[in-house]
Amino acid sequence: MANLKEIRGRISSISSTMQITRAMKMVSAAKLKKAQDAIVMLRPYSEKLQEIIQNVNSSSDPDQVSIYAQKREVKRVLFIAVTSNRGLAGAFNSNVVKELNIQFQNKAQYEVEVLTIGKKAYDAVRKTRAVYSNESAVFDNLNFEAVSHLTEAAMSSFKEGKFDEVYVIYNKFINAATQEVTTEQVLPISMAEANPAEPQVETDYIFEPNRAEILDNLIPKSIKTQVFKAVLDSVASEHGARMTAMHKATDNAQELKNDLVIFYNKARQAAITNEILEIVSGAEALKNS
């Protein structure tokens, strides 16, 4: 049985751990509000941008297809894996790595490279897969320009034929307690065709300067926005996952501390009882002598 000093040391250690996990939970909760507001505001913009592209595309010449929408024989695939630079967020990072490994198996017949956003993804794949680029520094100063820079590199590689498909894997933010691992195709972009079975709304559009130039400007912006949205989703999901993980860790530590306190009190009571028995026994021995 552990002595009382050891038990007191364990209780003190658990109390210190609880202070750390409680502080991390509060920090993540504060950061979550800002990250959640950012992704909630970006989603309508991203969806409306996609809608505009679909409307313009449905009115354009089918022979004039954007280079970013051209489908070709798949030989090389690029995955953009979005994780975090830090751990202590439950299964947040491991779920992305697990999904990435599943995609590796599905695309085993192709040459696959990974663009990592986050140190955890980079550490997971750098020894087994070809890393196209490690962009973990994006989180040091996260903004649209920084994400656009790495997205442009992937778009240029697709345009030059280095990759035939580009996917992004990230945690989609649902709420503070729920994140959904999502795989989205970034390139080639999906240009939905009109369904003849559905009623069509005829609308006259005036294009200035022209359809082709509008699409040439909107499509790259839409691709960059899609990747930026994935990164913001991942950031909000990270804070939500870490807040939940630290909350559970604090509760578990409190439960363990309570058990140790009860054990300590029992051990202390047993020690006191033994001391009393020894005193009584000594007194009886002296009386009999």
- What pLDDT does 59 receive? 53
Residue ranges of the domains in the chain? 39-192+205-244
- What SS3 state is found at 119? helix
Residue 56 has pLDDT above 90, yes or no: no
Q: In this structure, are residues 246 and 21 in contact, taking their beta carbons and an 8 Å threshold? A: yes
Q: What is the pLDDT, as a whole number, of residue 95?
A: 92
Q: Name the band, by pLDDT with cuts 50, 70 and 90, for residue 115.
A: very high
Over range 79-85, report the average pLDDT: 92
Domain 39-192+205-244 CATH class label: alpha beta
pTM of full prediction above 0.85: no
- 165-182: average pLDDT: 91
Q: Which pLDDT value is given to residue 60?
A: 54
Confidence at residue 204, expressed as pLDDT on a 0 to 100 scale = 62
Full strand arrangement of the beta sheet holding 165-175 = 130-134, 111-117, 76-82, 165-175, 178-187
The pLDDT tens digits for 192-223 are 554 545 545 455 667 777 777 777 788 889 88
| Pairing verdict, β 165-175 and 178-187 | antiparallel
Which has more confidence, 75 or 217?
Answer: 75
Percent of the chain with pLDDT over 70: 90
105-114 CB contacts, 8 Å cutoff, 24+ apart: 107/77, 110/74, 110/75, 110/76, 110/77, 111/75, 111/76, 111/77, 112/76, 112/77, 112/78, 112/79, 113/76, 113/77, 113/78, 113/79, 113/163, 114/78, 114/79, 114/80, 114/81
